[in-house]
Amino acid sequence: MNPIQDLQLRIDEAFSEIRFPSAPADLYNPITYTLGLGGKRLRPLLVLASCQMFGGDIADAINPAIGIELFHNFTLLHDDIMDAAPLRRGKETVYKKWNSNVAILAGDTMFALANKYMLRTRPQAISQVIELFNQTAIEVCEGQQYDMDYEKQQHVSIPDYIEMIRLKTAVLLAASLKTGAIIAGAGSADCNYIYNFGIHIGLAFQLKDDLLDVYGVQEKFGKVSGGDIIAGKKTYLYLKALEAAGAQTETFRHLYVTPDADNNQKVMKVKAFFNQLNIENFTRELIDDYYQQAMNDLSSISLSGEAMEEMKDYTAGLMEREN
């Protein structure tokens, strides 16, 4: 069995071999720029790792892995416009470097390219892979819409938020894993277990992202520190703080949702509330709970010990990250 690092190299090589047309330059240069920003390329790695775990040939999975990463980056291009985010992975976002129209069109093209790559696999797997991919794309858009809706709603519950991040983030991780399993010819029960594993890891992953937005180091995290606070996003940390604030609830709510001319001061004041209410620990406990659920899903799969340990080690590393 190839170690995870070998699979990562295979993915990097595959992306390095992609060549886009030279014209129109303002369509393809932003795509090249986006893919050149790198990132962890977690989702294509999960496709290959899952395919390998279930005894498949990763050569059959490499193109769908590229397709899922193209789709993921398409969503980021559009998310950055909606969020007015200036940085992505420590660099200017496409809409900031070019403009919003360029970013929208480049994203649309990446979605079309993603579909082309998803079709390049074992003929027997294409139908299931495309059905899963399209359903996942719809759910990711649903999650993004809920995210935007919640920006306008005063009252959002923690279960509402968890469902939103399940759709916006977790389903794509789960689909990556299930795609690899389908290509490998895994049984339906194991495909469902690996999907549920991805959902729980995805929830833990997004909650860790929320935590790092406040408590991570900007140079490591690659985004503006406290960006969610500045934007007034209703993250789990905010919702849990509302739940725990008691008599200070309205004071905290007003501080969080009111724009401040000095963003650094706003972040410092909100973080002080979080610290007072022990929000970091509450968040870490929930992350651990979803992680343990994921490990239970994984233990239900009929895999060899080596395959199981490889996935456990990799996901443990994801949860321990501080950037």
What are the pLDDT digits (tens) for 238-263?
999 999 999 999 999 999 988 888 99
pLDDT digits (tens, 9 = 90+) for 10-63: 999 999 999 999 999 999 999 999 999 878 899 999 999 999 999 999 999 999
Which CATH number is 233's domain given?
1.10.600.10
Going by C-alpha positions, the residue among 70, 74, 87, 88 that lies closest to residue 11 is 70
b/e burial code for range 237-268 (CB count within 10 A of at least 16 → b): bbbbbbebbeeeeeebeebbeeeeeebeebbe
Contact predicate 28/22, CB 8 Å? yes
Q: Are 170 and 204 in contact (CB under 8 A)?
A: no
What phi and psi, each to the nearest 5 degrees, are found at residue 54?
A: -95, 15
Strand ranges (DSSP E) for the chain? Answer: 87-88, 91-92
User: Is the bond preceding residue 3 a cis peptide, omega within 30 degrees?
Assistant: no
Which residues have CB under 8 Å from 280's CB, separation 6+? 211, 214, 215, 237, 274
Tally of domains within the chain: 1
Domain range for 315? 4-320
Other beta carbons within 10 Å of 162: 18
Q: Label residue 217 by pLDDT band (50, 70, 90).
A: low
Whether the pTM exceeds 0.95: the reply is no
